[in-house]
Amino acid sequence: MQLNPQLAKHLREIHFGGNWSASNLKDTLSDISLNEALTKIGNLNSIAALTFHMNYYVAAILKVFEGGPLVAKDKYSFDLPPLRTNEEWEEMSNKSWRDAETLAILIEKMPEEKNIETFVDEKYGNYLRNIIGVIEHLHYHLGQVVFLKKLLRETPDLNKL
């Protein structure tokens, strides 16, 4: 069995379903309104900010897989652009789905031996480390999004938090 199709499958599952946690980004975000997405609870990130943050890294890795440079910087990873309409929120989510699917396709097509090659610079490790890392990162923040969604919908007065 080859590794890269399994990695691509795992990336798709965190976005579209079928993983062990029985939770995925697309279903979780499907009924989140713009207002809910932008609502901050205390000093926690909003669902919109977390969604942007998660795809920031997927998009950064995708650019490298497409032959471009790595241009991401952690300090910009929460720089959510203004979202004024439900359509803008929906488009941001749709970009996440497109980027995830494109990256999954490129991972599937990548020769297995590339997994151990340096990813851009030695300090970033190899390709495999970055693929696994982005999947772990997505799971981590998906849990936060699920928790925030529950808080938003089950807490009558968020001002008390």
Domains of the chain: 3-155 (1.20.120.450)
Alpha-carbon 40 to chain mean position: 19
For residue 147, give both structure tokens.
Answer: 């928790």
Q: Which amino acid is at 75?
A: K
* Single-letter residue type at 146: V
CA-nearest of 74, 77, 76, 47 to 141 is 47
- Reading the chain (161 residues) residue by residue, the pLDDT tens digits are 799 999 999 999 999 999 888 899 999 999 999 999 999 999 999 999 999 999 999 999 999 999 999 999 999 999 999 999 999 999 999 999 999 999 999 999 999 999 999 999 999 999 999 999 999 999 999 999 999 999 999 986 765 45
